[in-house]
Structures are given as C-alpha cells and as structure tokens.
Homo-oligomer: A and B are copies of this chain.
Amino acid sequence: MDEDIRPGEIAVTLPETFDAGVYFIGRIRTPWTRREDCPRNARGSDAVCTIELDPRYAAALDGVATCTHLIIFYFMDRARRDLVVQVSRHSGRRGTFALRSPVRPNPIAMSVVTLLRIEDTTLFVIGLDCLDGTPLIDIKPYFATVDSVPDAVVGWSKSGNE
C-alpha cells in the first residue's frame, strides 16, 4: 500500500502479531456506501442510521432505552493501520493521535449518538458518519458527568472539529 502515501506522511512497521482480539457484535446501517459520500463528521448529517446488534447479545440492551445518548465503537476495517503522520487538505500534516482519521494502529472509531428508539435488537440513532455495513464493536451509555467537556480545545484545529 506504500504507493498510497502522500508526501510528508510517515508509515511504520507494525508488530508481527496482534495482542488481543475483538468480536464484531453487529453491523451499522447508514445511507453511505462510498467513502466520499460520508459526512465529514458525526455532526455532519441528521440521517437516521440503524445499529443491528447480533441477537446473541440481546439481553445486554436491558436499560439502554433509558439513555438519551450512547457511545458507539465501530471497526474501520478498510483502513490501513501503519501511518503515524498523515496529510490532508482539511487538517494539514498531523500526527495520527491528533486526528480522528480511521487510519490508526487500532482503527476503532467512536461516535456519540442520539438514541431515538430501540426495536428488538435494532437501535435507531442520529450521529453516525460511517460506511454502510461497518462492524459494531461496542455500545456504552454516555455519562455527561465524565464524558462531557464543553470547553475542551484542540489547538491545531481552527474549526474545532476534525
């Protein structure tokens, strides 16, 4: 994949083996089937997306309907993992850990979503920006007391957004 590196980007050699494994516990359904159609970030669309949880885990949804907002983890399985410095028109040249790009050693993305309703093992939410069919990794309740920092600043970003 080296030919895909842009001038200024840096790739590293990744370890030869993984240290732990993850299960795909469901699929995310969105209106977007091509990367160029996805919104720039999770506030870029009001589209209602669905999270289809593997019925194996149905009982784990007990209590989730009382949450107004959820944290969703999903696996960006089409992303390369070896870039430590990335270049884009929007963000300039940045270290991977200063970006929310799917390209990172562990391509697990996180979005905070608004929960509309749950039907069986399907969650209807607003606030996702990923490709249709993206594998689901986790669902967590969003606790404002620990998760909300309204005055947080990302100094390199003029827009305050990735």
Chain B residue at minimum C-beta to C-beta distance from A91:
B63
Residue contact A137 to B155, C-beta cutoff 8 Å:
no
Question: How many residues of chain A are within 8 Å of chain B by beta carbon?
Answer: 76
Chain A 147-161 against B: per-residue CB contact (8 Å), 1 yes, 0 no? Answer: 111111111110011
Is the CB of A21 closer than 8 A to any CB of chain B? yes
Q: Copies per complex?
A: 2
Residue contact A66 to B155, C-beta cutoff 8 Å:
yes
Cβ contacts A to B, 30 pairs, < 8 Å: A12-B59, A18-B21, A19-B135, A20-B77, A22-B108, A43-B146, A57-B84, A57-B97, A58-B84, A59-B95, A60-B85, A60-B98, A61-B98, A62-B95, A63-B99, A66-B156, A67-B153, A73-B106, A97-B138, A97-B139, A97-B140, A98-B141, A106-B138, A112-B146, A141-B157, A143-B154, A146-B161, A147-B149, A147-B152, A150-B150
Chain A residues at the B interface, C-beta cutoff of 8 Å: 10, 12-15, 17-25, 41-43, 56-64, 66-69, 71, 73, 75, 77, 84-85, 93-100, 104-106, 108, 110-112, 135, 137-157, 160-162
